[in-house]
Amino acid sequence: MRILALTFLVFSQAVFPQSADWLLVSESGRAKAGAPFELVLVAPQGAELPDSISVRLRRGAAEVDLTMRALSPPAHGRRRYGAVLPPSASGSVAIRVADPPSNTVVLIVARGDAVQKLTGTLESEQEPPLSENEPMYFVIGASSHWSARFQLSFKYRLFDADAGYGRDQPWLTGFYFAYTQTSLWDLEGESKPFFDTSYRPSLFWRWLRTDDRIWIDALRLGLEHESNGQAGEESRSLNIAFIQPEWRWKTASLGNYEFTPKAYAYLDKSDNPDIQEYRGYVDWRVRWDSGDNWILTLLGRLGTAHKGSLQIDLARRARDLKFGALSGYLYAQYFNGYGESLRDYNMRHTAQLRFGLAIIP
C-alpha cells in the first residue's frame, strides 16, 4: 500500500505539474482515534510547503479544525505532516487542507478506548438505524387443517454515532429497541380467525467484535417482554432477561456457519408458571449459509420436563429464478413439538410444514 501511495505521488507530480490545487495523501487510509497519524502534502510546482498546516476533519455533520506539524523537510515538492486524532473520531473521517484548498482524504478511524472496542461501533455504522432483526416471512401449509404463520421483526438503534449523545458517549450506540410479532392464522375456521399472536418488544445492548484477538464474534444483553395480548384465562405473558452470544465460521467450500444460542432467566411468568418445563432456558440456534443460494436454520428448545420443540427453516434466494423478478427468499418451515404459539405453550399439535416467502437478515 505504501509503495502504491508513493508511486501515486510521483505520478501526480509528473502528470499535473501545473495544477493549482494542493494534493493531500494518506499512505494507509487508516488511523486510530486518540493516536498520532500522518499525511503527505504535495504542493503545486513552485509553491513552498509550510512548517504547519491547518486541516478540517468532517464526520457526518460535525467538523473539527486540527493543526498538523511538519515531520520532515520538503523533498521533491512534498512534505510529511503529523498530528494526534481527536479521541472522539471514529468511522469514516474526511480530511482536507483548509488553506490552501486541497482534495479530500477519507480515513477509516478505529476507536482506541476500551468501551468502544466492546460496542464495535466501527462495524455497526455500516448498518442503518432501522434494520431487520429476525427473519420476516409468510408461510402457508396444512396438517390437520390449513393455516398460515407470519412474522414481522425489526430493530432500531437508539443513538446515532454521528451526533448528540452517541457521538459524545460512543458506548450508547450499542443500545437497540427491537420488536417481533408472530401470528398463527386459521384459514379454515369461520371468519378465518387468528388463532394466536405473540408480541415481543425488547431492549438490548449489542457488542460486535472489532479485532481477531477476541474469541466471540458478537453478544447481546437485554430484556424482553412476550405477550399474546389477551386477558383473563387466555392471557399469556412473560418477562425475561437474556444473553445471546454469537459465533461465526467461514469456510472456502462448505459455506458459512453460525451458532447463536439465546440463554434467558424468567423474571415474571405468572400466566404460565411451568413454561420452563416446555421451553427450557435456552433457544439453541444453528445456521448454515451456502454462500450463494441456500440458508438452513435449526432452532431447538428442551424443557426441564424433557418436552421441547424443533423448528427447521430452509430458504432459497429467488433473485435468479426464471419465473419473474421476485426478491427475497422462497421459504419452507417445519415445526414439531410443544408451544408453536405462546397460547399453547404446553400443548403439542400435529407437526406442521409450511411454504411461502421471506426476508432474511
What is the per-residue pLDDT across 197-241, written as a single tens digit (0 to 9) for each? Answer: 999 999 999 988 766 667 888 999 999 999 988 888 788 999 999
Mean pLDDT of the chain: 84
Q: Cell digits for 155?
A: 430493530
Q: Cell digits for 342?
A: 405462546
Checking if the pLDDT of 279 tops 80, the result is: yes
CA distance 237 to 210: 37
The residue written with cell numbers 477519507 in the block is 106
Q: How confident is the model at residue 283 (pLDDT cuts 50, 70, 90)?
A: very high
Q: pLDDT digit string (tens) for 64-111? A: 889 999 999 999 889 999 999 887 777 778 898 977 778 888 888 876
Lowest mean pLDDT among 5-9, 133-137, 198-202, 239-243: 5-9
Q: What percent of the chain has pLDDT over 90?
A: 48
CA distance 192 to 194: 7
Q: How confident is the model at residue 324 (pLDDT cuts 50, 70, 90)?
A: low
CATH dotted code for 114-359:
2.40.230.10
- Name which CATH class applies to 2-110: mainly beta
Radius of gyration of the chain (CA): 27
Which are the contacts of 343, defined by CB distance < 8 A and separation ≥ 6? 195, 196, 228, 230, 234, 236
Q: What percent of the chain has pLDDT over 70?
A: 85
341-347 average pLDDT score: 91
CA distances from 260 to 30, 77, 94, 282, 302 (A): 31, 55, 36, 10, 16
Which pLDDT value is given to residue 113? Answer: 52
Domain with CATH 2.40.230.10 in the chain: 114-359
With contact defined as beta carbons under 8 Å apart, do 281 and 302 qualify? no
Lowest mean pLDDT among 93-102, 283-292, 333-342: 93-102
Phi, psi of 344 (to 5 degrees): -110, 45
Domain with CATH 2.60.40.10 in the chain: 2-110
Between the CA atoms of 207, 208, 212 and 217, what dihedral angle is there, to the nearest 10 degrees?
90
CB-side neighbour CA atoms (13 Å) of 224: 24
Of 310, 300, 305, nearest to 278 by C-alpha is 305
Which pLDDT value is given to residue 12? Answer: 42
322: left (phi over 0), alpha (psi -120 to 50) or beta: alpha
CA distances from 146 to 20, 78, 162, 194 (A): 74, 75, 49, 12
Which pLDDT value is given to residue 119? Answer: 56
Which pLDDT value is given to residue 120? Answer: 53
CA distance 127 to 170: 15
Which pLDDT value is given to residue 20? Answer: 46
The residue written with cell numbers 458517549 in the block is 169
Which pLDDT value is given to residue 99? Answer: 76
Which pLDDT value is given to residue 15? Answer: 37
Of 276, 277, 255, 257, nearest to 267 by C-alpha is 276
Highest mean pLDDT, choosing among 114-123, 314-323, 345-354: 345-354
